[in-house]
Structure 1
Amino acid sequence: MTILSPIAVTQAPAACNEHRLTNLLLRRLMPLLVVVYVMSFLDRTNIALAKASMGIDLGLSAAAYGLGAGLFFLTYALFEVPSNLIMQKVGARFWITRIMITWGLLSTGMAFVQGETSFYVMRLLLGVAEAGLFPGVMLYLTYWFNREQRARATGYFLLGVCIANILSGPLGGALLQLDGWLGWHGWQWLFVLEGLPAVALAYVVWKKLPDGPSSASWLSAADAREIQARLDAESDDAPQQTRLNQMLRDKQIWLAIAVYFVHQITIYTVIFFLPGIIGNYGSLTPLQIGLLTSVPWIAAAIGAATFPRLATSPQRCRRILFFGLLTMSAGLLVASFSNSYIGLIGFSLTALMLFVVQSIIFVFPSSRLTGTALAGGLAFVTTCGLLGGFVGPSVMGLIEQTTGTTRNGLWVIAGLLVVAALVSTRLRQGQEQTAT
């Protein structure tokens, strides 16, 4: 007969209750947040499929397209910090609803661009409108999940990107085939029919998304108190940084930014140039290109749903980051050496780890910040990292126009990923001893 100690008896129900609460939060919060992110990615990246036809109809060069694709991230990055600070004051429900309405309307307005100038202006405005969504959700998750579960929750949230890119290929390819209907180009239908649903979804967010545990009607008062107590206890492990200038002096924040910057260069280069690269595989219709484009994102969804749940300790986080970044580099090298379906396998290998890496990166800065510094710090990391979303497509566009191929650009990014992997080994959480 096994005799359980009083400590084991007390810990078992506590662990069961924590498991129950975590599953409840994931079930209640993540589906809506995932759908929001699906819509945001459809609307910020649909120009990838519109590239060829827009280029012909509007006379956009490869360099102009790359610049326009990147300009979104310039204003998106610049407005991240103020957006997150506003969300902390007015609440997540109101601010995410506002973000969705403005980005949906502006994304729809992309159907009316007339040339390079209006293309640039609309991309800049779309960046302003959507600024704060990703860091806002990263901040929002800290209201609900402790450090052990946050990477898992973030991984589920990033499934939205995978789903968006799986859907965007076939959906965008089908919408482009509406070319000529009612006198509109296919790319105009693409922007309108993918932009307006975001405005409708904003109403659902306003009705269903609680600002925090205390305002969640589906949580009992005891459960809400337990969630808050768990988060309060964990915050004791974080350095008491309450000002943004203190955050800027933390070397760990800058290491996280460096890794995230390279990650963003990689992901948006793949997103914006993959359809064009696949288009060079042979004589393919827009729908066929769209279907093949979705293949790497299926791999990305598998990675996002599988690996982040293993990141339950600082050591595991670092190991997964290191090998994830090296895997992404290897995938790009394979893709660069093949203009056939072997290249698609390479892109799938890279995509497998894209959102595994991204879900873990934010665990490090969020474990070291509190209060206003947490809201501003997460937005600052996103801001600096997203500049990679500007640099990647812009440089790749220039390389493609200058050399006639994207191969050299893929080599450069593969090298940067190796450097980022080495940097990731220096990351530390909370008061964990910093590497010297």
Structure 2
Amino acid sequence: MLSTTTLVGGAATRDEAAAAYAKVTWRLLPFLFICYVFAYLDRVNVGFAKLKMMSDLGFSEAVYGLGAGVFFVGYLLFEVPSNLIMLKVGARIWIARIMVTWGLISGAMMFVTTPTSFYILRFLLGVAEAGFIPAILLYLTYWFPASKCGKVTALFLTGIPMSGVIGGPLSGFIMARMDNVQGMASWQWLFVLEAIPTVILGIVAYFFLNDRIADAKWLTERQKGILEQELSKDQHGKQHSLRDGFTKPLVWLLSVIYLFFTMGLYGVSFWLPSIVKASGVSDPLDIGLLTMIPYAFATLAMILTGRSSDARHERRWHLALAGIAGAVGLAWSVAYADNTPVAMLALTLATMGIMTTISQFWTLPPAILSGAAAAAGIAIANSVGSVSGLIAPYLLGVVKTVTSSTNSGVLVLAVCLVVGSVLVFTVPAKLVNRK
């Protein structure tokens, strides 16, 4: 393996470095993106299943809210251990394991008959998927320096809105057309059909991914040297030890900020289909097509903001303004909840802002952490943020059960986005605005 400090053949030109990063981007990002699309789809398709599952099984809104959220209990408990295991066994083995096991459990959701079985399977799904997102985010730091994380992270995390673009119409079609096919309910078909690609992708991941730059046979030796040298220079001033990842106050500050932003994320993810239905749309396929609109615009917003953030070497304002936009959109959707066109415009703004906060947030940890500290710190931040996955759906479920409306709960989520945006400015600019 080439030295990370001395590059054979002389210093790399800007064009050589750009070509090396382009090759890595086109090799890794499309595959990881597809994996994340189905990861997120398996996590939130319960929002579409809810449209008929609740009446078929006699579940209340509170039961659904708790079941949707209990996923994150298992996710929270096993996330940090999962990322530390990946450091030991390697990315390709661990990412493959995660995907295959969560695909199988997601498919098993077709067997739900009682609230207890619903809770158990959602909990196990969280255990199975624990560590996937921090594992990928950590894996990207093996290939890209912090200065390039804005665009790269945004491209990967567009899997969230694109799961809505793809999954909305797909889930809507399954829910509308597959009822009573072979004696199964449409929501049962939903879980089975959307789990199959995840298992297949998990198997492919084992053979497709490389653990390190040195293992990548699709790179030339000079390209490997260029990438390793760039990463070596990027380590200056960062926290490296496992203890740093657990004990540094800045890690916990970032975790709290992420918690406030993900409150808005999971509110939209789990309840967008229901909010669209409440605005006067009843056909599941139409609901799926309408939910595609906010996610399509969010994908564009994430990519453009990521590019701007990298080009300007500025992270905090890009993140905070996205959070404010998300809050304004949520509040606006409440004010015009009975007007479908205006509500959809508001939800589109909300989804654009909220999804962009997620991609922009993940430019911060790699700027201050590396190595074992990054493995622990990224997992901790994602774990704390995952608590919102339990709080947000259950909060909205309880509010709707009590008031017959989700409006008050949605406004609470808007306030959370504002709080997160304000807290962003407590992170020192000199640590995260790296060139």
TM category (shorter chain) comes to: over 0.9
Measure, in 2, the Cα distance between the counterparts of 1:329 and 1:74: 26
Matched, 1:93 2:95: no
Of 303, 309, 312, 1:311 maps to 309
Indicate if the aligned counterparts of 2:79 and 2:379 stay in contact, CA closer than 8 A. yes
Q: Which residue of 1 aligns with 2:195?
A: 195
Q: Which residue of 2 aligns with 1:253?
A: 251
Q: Percent identical across equivalent pairs?
A: 35
Q: Please, which runs of 5 or more residues in structure 1 have no aligned partner? A: 1-9
Aligned-pair CA distance for 1:430:
7.1
Measure, in 2, the Cα distance between the counterparts of 1:195 and 1:348: 27
List aligned pairs for 1:408-427, cutoff 5 A: 408-427=408-427
Q: Which residue of 2 aligns with 1:53?
A: 52
List aligned pairs for 1:101-140, cutoff 5 A: 101-140=100-139
Aligned-pair CA distance for 1:314:
8.5
Residues 137-160 of structure 1: CA distance to partner in whole angstroms, max 9, x if unpaired? Answer: 010000000111112111000111
Question: Is the partner of 1:331 in helix, strand or coil?
Answer: helix
Measure, in 1, the Cα distance between the counterparts of 2:284 and 2:242: 50
Q: Which residue of 2 aligns with 1:40?
A: 39
**One-letter code aligned to 2:216:** A
Indicate if the aligned counterparts of 1:37 and 1:157 stay in contact, CA closer than 8 A. yes
**One-letter code aligned to 2:132:** L
Aligned Cα root-mean-square deviation (Å): 1.7
Q: Which runs of 4+ in 1 moved over 4 A?
A: 429-433
Measure, in 2, the Cα distance between the counterparts of 1:283 and 1:30: 36
**One-letter code aligned to 1:420:** G
Matched, 1:284 2:289: no
- Going from structure 1 to structure 2, the CA distance change for 1:283 and 1:132 (only over 3 Å counts) comes to closer
Measure, in 1, the Cα distance between the counterparts of 2:247 and 2:197: 42
Question: Is the partner of 1:183 in helix, strand or coil?
Answer: coil
- Going from structure 1 to structure 2, the CA distance change for 1:312 and 1:197 (only over 3 Å counts) comes to closer
Indicate if the aligned counterparts of 1:111 and 1:188 stay in contact, CA closer than 8 A. yes
Residues 1-43 of structure 1: CA distance to partner in whole angstroms, max 9, x if unpaired? Answer: xxxxxxxxx98x6222222122111111000000000111111
Indicate if the aligned counterparts of 2:315 and 2:432 stay in contact, CA closer than 8 A. no
Indicate if the aligned counterparts of 2:324 and 2:353 stay in contact, CA closer than 8 A. no
Residues 91-128 of structure 1: CA distance to partner in whole angstroms, max 9, x if unpaired? Answer: 11110110111011001000011110000000000000
Question: Is the partner of 1:66 in helix, strand or coil?
Answer: helix
Matched, 1:400 2:361: no
- Identify the range of structure 1 (311-320 vs 417-426) with the bigger mean alpha-carbon deviation: 311-320
Indicate if the aligned counterparts of 2:105 and 2:121 stay in contact, CA closer than 8 A. yes
Aligned-pair CA distance for 1:247:
3.3
**One-letter code aligned to 2:399:** I
Measure, in 1, the Cα distance between the counterparts of 2:268 and 2:432: 35
Question: Is the partner of 1:181 in helix, strand or coil?
Answer: coil
Q: Which residue of 2 aligns with 1:382?
A: 382
Indicate if the aligned counterparts of 1:235 and 1:370 stay in contact, CA closer than 8 A. yes
- Going from structure 1 to structure 2, the CA distance change for 1:379 and 1:267 (only over 3 Å counts) comes to same
Question: Is the partner of 1:316 in helix, strand or coil?
Answer: coil
- Going from structure 1 to structure 2, the CA distance change for 1:314 and 1:238 (only over 3 Å counts) comes to farther
- Going from structure 1 to structure 2, the CA distance change for 1:128 and 1:429 (only over 3 Å counts) comes to farther
- Identify the range of structure 1 (350-359 vs 262-271) with the bigger mean alpha-carbon deviation: 350-359
Measure, in 1, the Cα distance between the counterparts of 2:432 and 2:166: 41
- Going from structure 1 to structure 2, the CA distance change for 1:315 and 1:236 (only over 3 Å counts) comes to closer
Q: Which residue of 2 aligns with 1:182?
A: 182
Structure 1 length-normalised TM = 0.93
Measure, in 2, the Cα distance between the counterparts of 1:364 and 1:271: 23
**One-letter code aligned to 1:67:** L
Question: Is the partner of 1:288 in helix, strand or coil?
Answer: helix
Indicate if the aligned counterparts of 2:100 and 2:202 stay in contact, CA closer than 8 A. yes
Measure, in 1, the Cα distance between the counterparts of 2:399 and 2:161: 27
Q: Please, which runs of 5 or more residues in structure 2 have no aligned partner? A: 1-9
Q: Which residue of 2 aligns with 1:207?
A: 207
